[in-house]
Amino acid sequence: MPPPIVECVPNFSEGRRPDVLDALAAGIRGPGVRLLDVSADPDHNRAVFTFVGEGEALLEAAFRSAAIAVERIDLRAHQGVHPRIGAVDVIPFVPLAGGSMPACVKLARRLGALLADRLGLPVYLYGEAAIRPRTLVEIRRGEFEGLQTAIAKPDRHPDFGPARIHPSAGAVAVGARGVLIAFNVNLNTADVAAARAIARAVRASSGGLPAVQAMGVPLRSRGLAQVSMNLLDYHVTSPLAALGRVEEEAARRGIGVVESELVGCAPREALPSDPVTALRLRALRPEQILDPAALR
């Protein structure tokens, strides 16, 4: 029987320095690991790395890249539109072909303990790996700057590591979850207030589409505003459905859609037959399309 395949999708607080991104990629590559995609954005100042492999090799690759992030990324000098608490902000493990959620939970908790013990990072567990009932949104509240004092409060103590923030690398959230699709829609306006209003209308917490998180952010390098979304269950809300709702809400405000962006990877079955045209994608690399059976 082929070994189970697990996906790891660390998000690093760096989207502008190619040399740092190259170093992170080099840290991930190794026996038993396949780096599928790197998506980086200068406005978010964030990079999403997607790699797959077997459990032990995956854990080691995640740790190596986190150590490089701690060494090379200083949040005291970091600015970007995406919320973040750490140089390596979040590390989720995702079961794919033959992988199981319990195995991903074990990987997440083992990695969390290593990051605390060897790198001195405060570690928060989330998703299926959570020990305390708190969400990623709650963990990130106040971001790096606010967490410097909030971490001392009992309800904000990390699950592993010291109850004090790492001075330059912050903290990290490590978790286990199902497949998540990061999908952004760029508007033909620089009006961030309009993007935020559209995001409010789209996201589940405000009564919008189920299993959708959304925020409106500025893309200053392009003179646009963006509705940035996480699709937590593409079986419930697909990228095509999310785009349609954003287009509707934008049109109500006299705003058009320029293009969309897929950040990282998405399963083939989550995408329409002609995703570039149907989703108005800015670009789509073949390696962004996940076919779990082909990864074995």
H or E, element range at 263 = strand 257-263
CA 78 to chain centre: 17
Give, in order, the Cα–Cα distances in Å from 146 to each of 19, 69, 124, 295.
Answer: 29, 21, 15, 40
Question: What CATH fold (topology level) applies to the domain 6-176?
Answer: Formiminotransferase-cyclodeaminase; Chain B, domain 1 (3.30.990)
Spatial contact of 144 and 122, defined as CB atoms under 8 Å apart: no
The residue extents of the domains of the chain are 6-176, 181-295
Question: Cα(first)–Cα(last) distance of the chain, in Å?
Answer: 10
- pLDDT at residue number 1: 65
**List of the chain residues with pLDDT < 50:** none
Secondary element (H or E) of residue 136: helix 136-139
**What string of H, E and C letters represents the secondary structure of 219-261?**
ECCCCEEEEEEEECCCCCCCHHHHHHHHHHHHHHCCCCEEEEE
Smallest CA-to-CA distance from 56 within 121, 112, 6, 128 is with 6
Catalytic residue of the set 82, 157, 166, 235: 82
The answer as to CATH 3.30.70.670 being correct for domain 181-295 is yes
pLDDT of residue 195: 98
Q: What is the pLDDT of residue 4?
A: 86
Residues forming a β-bridge with 175: 92, 126
Q: What is the pLDDT of residue 296?
A: 65
44 part of the active site: no
The sign of the torsion formed by the CA atoms of 97, 280, 42, 23 equals: positive
pTM of the model: 0.96
